[in-house]
């Protein structure tokens, strides 16, 4: 395990502890935009993560959900952080949220760590080294057809005011697969696809901190990723489709029936 992975794990566990300890005392809630809350705990967890990483890598840059993009060091290494993915869930006491930390080096994500404190699930991946959950290797599912697949999606706050609200895709998939879930944490959706709980996940309107760590974990677990039309995707794109690979083209075909 590299030093970068060790530090990311340490930071994720520290932030997870804060989330757990403050679950019944989240403090003041404000809103960045319609239906997009931020709590005191978001800021506390983010500060803990950045402080922990800076202790070992003081010259690295950061892209964090709450504090934004800090590139003062002009480093080729950037930590991409979501201290609390699933803030709305957290603010309502719904136990589906996580800490997400990724390391991007020279434009490529090399480390991904996601910690779910509700179930004490620690997902870790390093580029080219596979993906693990609590120390054990994980792989995507082997279900080959959409009809037997359990899918997952999400709806970003801004879709409330958008014509491309994902509802068309949701309805189309509901008629094409076994079922569709909407837990409320894109990072968790990605890692649960990586470990085979879901066969596929799609969403639009996401940010790099929502997907950077989870996408690496998914790919290292043998999954496939693209845009809705099947073309290559990147963490800075506005839409993502991931799957176990076996149902990927079937999902692309369904997405082509809606608004792209």
Domain count, the chain: 2
Within this chain, do residues 131 and 238 fall inside the same structural domain, yes or no? no
Determine, yes or no, domain membership for 260.
Answer: no
Question: Model confidence over 157-200: pLDDT tens digits?
Answer: 766 566 778 999 999 999 999 999 999 999 999 999 999 999 99
Question: Model confidence over 77-94: pLDDT tens digits?
Answer: 999 999 999 999 999 999
The residue segments making up the domain with residue 98 are 3-137
CATH number of the domain residue 76 falls in? 3.30.540.10
Within this chain, do residues 173 and 251 fall inside the same structural domain, yes or no? yes
- 3-state SS record for the chain: CCHHHHHHHHHHHHHHHHHHHCCCCCCCEEEEECCEEEEHHHHHHHHHHHHHHHHHCCCCEEEECCCEEECCCCCCEEEEEEEEECHHHHHCCCCCCEEEEEEEECCEEEEEEEEECCCCEEEEEECCCCEEECCEECCCCCCCCHHHCEEEECCCHHHHHCCCCCHHHHHHHHCCCCEEECCCCHHHHHHHHHCCCCCEEEEECCCHHHHHHHHHHHHHCCCEEECCCCCCCCCCCCEEEEECCCCHHHHHHHHCCCCC
Within this chain, do residues 245 and 184 fall inside the same structural domain, yes or no? yes
Within this chain, do residues 125 and 155 fall inside the same structural domain, yes or no? no
Within this chain, do residues 74 and 38 fall inside the same structural domain, yes or no? yes
pLDDT band at 3 (very low <50, low <70, confident <90, very high): very high
Within this chain, do residues 124 and 155 fall inside the same structural domain, yes or no? no
Entry pTM: 0.94
Q: Which of 77, 103, 137 is the last residue of a domain?
A: 137
């Amino acid at each position: 395990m590299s030093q970068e992975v060790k530090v990311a794990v340490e930071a994720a566990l520290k932030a997870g502890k804060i989330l757990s300890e403050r679950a019944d005392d989240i403090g003041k809630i404000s809103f960045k935009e319609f239906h997009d809350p931020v709590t005191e705990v978001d800021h506390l967890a983010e500060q803990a993560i950045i402080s922990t990483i800076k202790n070992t890598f003081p010259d690295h840059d950061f892209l964090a959900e709450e504090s934004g993009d800090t590139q003062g060091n002009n480093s080729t290494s950037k930590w991409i952080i979501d201290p609390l993915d699933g803030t709305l869930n957290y603010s309502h006491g719904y136990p589906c949220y996580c800490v997400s930390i990724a390391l991007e080096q020279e434009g490529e994500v090399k480390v991904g760590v996601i910690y779910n404190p509700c179930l004490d699930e620690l997902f870790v991946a390093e580029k080219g080294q596979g993906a693990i959950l609590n120390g054990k290797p994980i792989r995507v599912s082997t279900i080959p057809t959409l009809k037997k697949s359990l899918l997952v999606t999400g709806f970003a706050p801004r879709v409330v005011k958008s014509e491309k609200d994902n509802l068309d895709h949701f309805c189309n998939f509901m008629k094409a697969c076994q079922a569709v879930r909407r837990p409320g944490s894109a990072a968790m959706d990605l890692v649960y696809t990586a470990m085979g709980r879901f066969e596929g996940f799609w969403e639009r309107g996401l940010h790099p901190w929502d997907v950077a760590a989870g996408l690496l974990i998914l790919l290292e677990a043998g999954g496939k990723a693209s845009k809705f039309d099947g073309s290559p995707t990147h963490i800075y794109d506005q839409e993502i489709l991931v799957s176990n690979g076996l149902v990927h083209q079937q999902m692309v075909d369904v997405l082509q029936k809606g608004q792209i």
